[in-house]
């Protein structure tokens, strides 16, 4: 089974621009979560999508948004980029049991975003 894939792997943008990152979950997984990883703040939960609906959101400003498609693929968008948005953005998908309170999130390799 193919793992979680994320595109692109590396991205360089300038302040004020917007960016869209893509995530394809493991086949059969319906839940997709996004995390931001920075040296200062560590790993922080951004949001989770399940069956095309945002189920929960972490403590991030509205510039961070996402969506999920009917095939469970997900995108996240960051508008009006700031220098502090430079980070590794990780996507994770989870098995159908996750919505019943169990099982595991499997992570992709991440997208490294650099904001200049």
Partner 1 sequence: AQSVTQLDSQVPVFEEAPVELRCNYSSSVSVYLFWYVQYPNQGLQLLLKYLSGSTLVKGINGFEAEFNKSQTSFHLRKPSVHISDTAEYFCAVSDRRGGADGLTFGKGTHLIIQP
Question: Which of residues 55 and 63 has its CB atom nearest to partner 1 in the complex?
Answer: 55
Task: Give exposure, 3-26, as e/b (b: 16+ Cβ within 10 Å).
Answer: ebebeeeeeebeeeeebebebbbb
Q: Is 60 in the site for partner 1 (CB under 8 A)?
A: no
Binding part of the chain for partner 1, among 12-20, 60-68, 76-84, 94-102 by CB under 8 A, reads: 94-102
Measured in Å, how far apart are the chain's first and last C-alpha atoms? 37
- Which residues in 25-110 belong to E strands, given as ranges? 31-38, 42-50, 53-57, 64-68, 74-78, 87-94, 105-107
Q: Say if strands 19-24 and 74-78 run parallel, antiparallel, or are unpaired.
A: antiparallel
Question: Which of residues 16 and 96 has its CB atom nearest to partner 1 in the complex?
Answer: 96
Instruction: Give least dist CB 27 to partner 1, A.
Output: 18
Q: Is 56 in the site for partner 1 (CB under 8 A)?
A: yes
Question: Which of residues 42 and 62 has its CB atom nearest to partner 1 in the complex?
Answer: 42
Q: Is 30 in the site for partner 1 (CB under 8 A)?
A: no
Per DSSP, the three-state class of 5 is strand
Q: Is 109 in the site for partner 1 (CB under 8 A)?
A: yes
Contacts to partner 1 by CB under 8 A: 4, 6, 31, 33, 35, 42-45, 48, 55-56, 58, 90, 92, 94, 98-110
């Amino acid at each position: 089974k193919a793992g979680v894939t994320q595109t692109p792997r590396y991205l360089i943008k300038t302040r004020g621009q917007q960016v869209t990152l893509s995530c394809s979950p493991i086949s059969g997984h319906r839940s997709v979560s996004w995390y931001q990883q920075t040296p200062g703040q560590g790993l922080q939960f951004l949001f989770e999508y399940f069956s095309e609906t945002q189920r929960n959101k972490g403590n991030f400003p509205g510039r961070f948004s996402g969506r999920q498609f009917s095939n469970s693929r997900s995108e996240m968008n960051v508008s009006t980029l700031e220098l502090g948005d430079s980070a590794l953005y990780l996507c994770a998908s989870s098995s159908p049991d996750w919505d019943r309170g169990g099982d595991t999130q499997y992570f992709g390799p991440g997208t490294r975003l650099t904001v200049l």
